[in-house]
């Protein structure tokens, strides 16, 4: 059950080193309490929904790989559950893409590198963790960037360990627009669900906004210029055309409606690391 009552009644005296405060699934109101002024390292106050946090934090706290945003600490008490992440200076990928001025800072090199970072993180969760971890809510808002635009996957609020010999978890809790289509009728969570969400995010990074209806019309016969973010001058993509085309082709494979036809995140990460080995001759570029 979530908290109810006035926010100013919460006790923050035991959290002097807290950086990010996440009050989840609570019903609080009132002004920010004066006691929060003692949290000198607090940089962000979050109030969105998060379920089963204590279970999730025990799952992912050992993850120390750079592209996976590890937890700095968590507290469970009668006041609720609190979670602290390392501070990421640049903020979320989604917020930057939605900002016209800030989106211009994301040139094609940065965008390709961000997608590589995300792929590397998911490959680690799926293939290097035992048992594998499925994130289940990969969105642009859950990708955080540091001051050098290094991307990290965060918000494991609905992540789940997949035991090799157990049935797949079936609670539906992914974000609309990023959710794999098979979840609508099968409701079985596998690594393929993350692969689909990754494909949507990759297209969003290239397109500048959520691809939306574009997903249904994408094909190898499309002009690449119709997929790229129009806020960045078209000629600026020329030196990086192979890398950009490689990302688009991989994203198309990841959003295949047949889960079994999607590549694994390990394969995606490898292809993004060595883009010159990926065939692009059958893609129409600009005319």
- Beta bridge partners, 80, equal 77
Q: How many beta carbons lie within 10 A of that of residue 241, not counting itself?
A: 15
- Encoded tokens for 268: 């995606």
Q: Residue 207 in 3-state DSSP?
A: helix
CB 212 within 8 A of CB 275: no
Q: DSSP for 28-84? A: EESPPPGGGGG-TT--EEE-----SHHHHHHHHTT---TTB--EEEEEEETTEEEEE
Q: Token match 């297209």: residue?
A: 203
- Tell me how crowded residue 112 is: count the other CB atoms within 10 A of its CB: 20
Catalytic residue (choose from 22, 137, 155, 194): 137
CA distance 268 to 36: 43
Pairing of strands 160-161, 20-22: unpaired
Token couple for 127: 């293939």
Map tokens 């974000």 to a residue: 175
Q: Evaluate whether 36 touches 10 at the Cβ level (below 8 Å).
A: no
146 assigned to active site: no
Catalytic residues, by residue number, are 137
């Amino acid at each position: 059950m979530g908290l109810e009552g006035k926010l100013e009644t919460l006790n923050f005296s035991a959290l002097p080193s807290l950086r990010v405060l996440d009050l989840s699934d609570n019903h609080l109101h009132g002004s920010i309490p004066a006691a929060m002024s003692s949290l000198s390292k607090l940089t962000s106050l979050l109030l969105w929904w998060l379920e089963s946090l204590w279970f999730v934090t025990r799952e992912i706290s050992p993850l120390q790989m750079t592209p996976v945003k590890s937890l700095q600490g968590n507290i469970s008490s009668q006041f609720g559950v609190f979670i602290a992440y390392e501070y990421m200076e640049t903020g979320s990928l989604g917020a930057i893409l939605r900002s016209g001025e800030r989106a211009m800072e994301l040139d094609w090199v940065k965008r390709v590198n961000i997608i590589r970072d995300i792929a590397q993180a998911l490959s680690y969760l799926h293939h290097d963790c035992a048992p594998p971890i499925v994130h289940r809510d990969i969105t642009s808002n859950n990708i955080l960037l540091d001051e050098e635009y290094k991307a990290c996957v965060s918000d494991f609020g609905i992540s789940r360990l997949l035991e090799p010999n157990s049935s797949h978890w079936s609670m539906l809790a992914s974000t609309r627009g990023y959710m794999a289509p098979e979840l609508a009728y099968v409701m079985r969570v596998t690594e393929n669900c993350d692969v689909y969400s990754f494909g949507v995010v990759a297209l969003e990074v290239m397109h500048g906004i959520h691809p939306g209806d574009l997903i249904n019309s994408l094909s190898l016969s499309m002009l690449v210029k119709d997929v790229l973010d129009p806020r960045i001058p078209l000629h600026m993509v020329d030196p990086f055309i192979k890398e950009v085309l490689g990302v688009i082709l991989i994203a198309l494979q990841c959003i295949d409606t047949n889960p079994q036809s999607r590549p694994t995140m390990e394969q995606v990460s490898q292809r993004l690391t060595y883009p010159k080995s990926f065939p692009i001759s059958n893609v129409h570029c600009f005319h």
